[in-house]
Structure 1
Amino acid sequence: MQVSNDVLFHALHTDGLLMLPNCWDAGSARIAAAAGSKALATSSAAVAWSHGYPDGSSLPSELLMANVRGILRVSSLPLTVDMEDGYSDDPAQVAQLAGELIDAGVVGINIEDGSGAPALLADKIRAIRAVAGARGVNLFINARADVYLLGEAGGFGAAVRVAETIKRAALYEAAGASGLFVPGMTTEDDIAAMVKATRLPLNLIALDSLPAPARLAQLGVRRLSAGAALSKAVFGCIDTLARQFFDSGKVDPAAYPQIDYAALNRMMAQ
């Protein structure tokens, strides 16, 4: 019996470490899949930049949906979409957009609290869960707690970050969240405390100061996201080579590994 993608995506969080090299369009999704990704995840920043918009809930919803349809056209892997704060403070509007994503074939979302009230994100999660339930889809709602990202500037000193994140995790779980995303958490003590305190699968973002993947799995982390890192590297390469072209009239990508033209073309034709 074939397992549905929503069931499969939940199962990918139950054992070991799910590693997601976030993509931003159909082409990068093909590359992520070819590299061995078991599921696909978008980065809101990378998607926004690819359309010429800044990150921060400024991408028009029609472009978000076109992006999703493009990715699903080229891959049958489970897809989770970063919908930032839901692009609205109205839980009903956020849930409506989530419904459109589900109807398109998305089985997971990221939604963040940012600098807003945790209670507002909980309301959004409840509304999204209701919409998903009405469609018979067990949507993986990955609640992003931004305590570590806000840090000192947001009033969260190092001594209170774990406790505040645990408090938010309980609130989001009660509202219907499936997972907890805590970008910026890096120390083993904090990670271990978080894993112990919540039943939600813990998702972290790849940072230089983070323990190695094998150690994260030992600590109980269930998901590791590349975030916008791949996109930043690609855009950095484009910026460098474009400036090189204006300086010399040539493009010398010797410092950057390339995929052969024919190989890339075959990948895109699969």
Structure 2
Amino acid sequence: MTGRIQQFTELHQPGQPLVLYNIWDAGSAQATVRAGAKAVATGSLSVAGAQGFDDGEKLPFDFALTNARHIVSAVDVPVTVDLETGYGDSAAAVGANAQQMKDVGVAGLNLEDQDFSAGGLRDVSAQADRIKVAADTGLFINARTDLFIQTPIPDHDGALAQKALERCQAYADAGAGSFFVPFAISEKLIGDICAKAKLPINVMMMPDSPSTLRLAELGVARISYGPGPWMAAMSAFEAEALKIFES
């Protein structure tokens, strides 16, 4: 395990969450590090949007790879990249793409279990195969499940948590380093998952989420902000542009 990957791995401590204020390019990465970030993480929607593409692997992989290289060269902290579903129809393709990301110096990847072509979620065993080949490169894999995104929030109950935990176990067995549950916002739900999961838990900060302090108390190990920072930056930019052109 290389130094940056080891450093990044050690930052995942339940109860002392690593806060990742997601970035999209080298400049935003540097700004986040100046603010005190211990690591930086891209968000796929933000990276794609900054280049004029939609989310969902519409940004060409070569663009994503070049962007990752620039970010790694611009900061002296670990960099993790949101690779969506891995940019590959097969596990082998995902593994090859993960290796290219490692070769440019990233420490970790996000891999999600939705299936863009078929819709819904990928079969657990098939997703575990994709995670395994990515983890076999030595990178820290943050295995994301979209169970909570694809289910309306009022229906986030114990049965759904159990399904998430089953995926967590399979992804842990495949070599994942952490488990990402975006759109899980209930304290009870998050607490139950943290208590029972075989991996450190990553949540996404949302308007109705518990505070950072409360998430730490629940046992969360990693807090992400997703596309929020990029959206806020673009909103501020557009507001200033409107003032200029309206005058």
Aligned Cα RMSD in Å?
1.6
In structure 2, what is the equivalent of residue 116 of structure 1? Answer: 121
| CA deviation string 1:211-243 (max 9, x = no partner) | 111111111100001111000011112222333
Structure possessing the higher radius of gyration over alpha carbons: 1
1:129 aligns with 2:115: no
Identity value in percent:
35
Q: Which amino acid aligns with 1:144?
A: R
Deviation of residue 55 (structure 1)? 0.6
Deviation of residue 12 (structure 1)? 0.4
Q: Which amino acid aligns with 2:155?
A: G
| CA deviation string 1:20-54 (max 9, x = no partner) | 11110010000000000000110111000111100
Q: Which has the higher contact order (CA 8 A, sep 6+)?
A: 2
Q: Which amino acid aligns with 2:98?
A: A
In structure 2, what is the equivalent of residue 63 of structure 1? Answer: 63
1:95 aligns with 2:95: yes
Q: TM-score, normalised by structure 2?
A: 0.92
- SS of 1:111's equivalent in the other structure is strand
Query: Could you tell me how far apart the structure 1 residues matched to 2:152 and 2:10 are?
Result: 36
- SS of 1:89's equivalent in the other structure is coil
1:200 aligns with 2:199: yes
Deviation of residue 89 (structure 1)? 2.3
Gap runs ≥5 in structure 1: 249-270
Q: TM-score, normalised by structure 1?
A: 0.84
Q: Which amino acid aligns with 2:23?
A: C
Correspondence list, 1:218-237, <5 A: 218-237=217-236
Query: Could you tell me how far apart the structure 1 residues matched to 2:149 and 2:244 are?
Result: 37
In structure 1, what is the equivalent of residue 169 of structure 2? Answer: 170
Query: Could you tell me how far apart the structure 1 residues matched to 2:227 and 2:213 are?
Result: 22
In structure 2, what is the equivalent of residue 185 of structure 1? Answer: 184
Q: Which amino acid aligns with 2:45?
A: A
CA contact (8 A) 2:79 2:107 kept: yes
Gap runs ≥5 in structure 2: 115-119
- SS of 1:150's equivalent in the other structure is coil
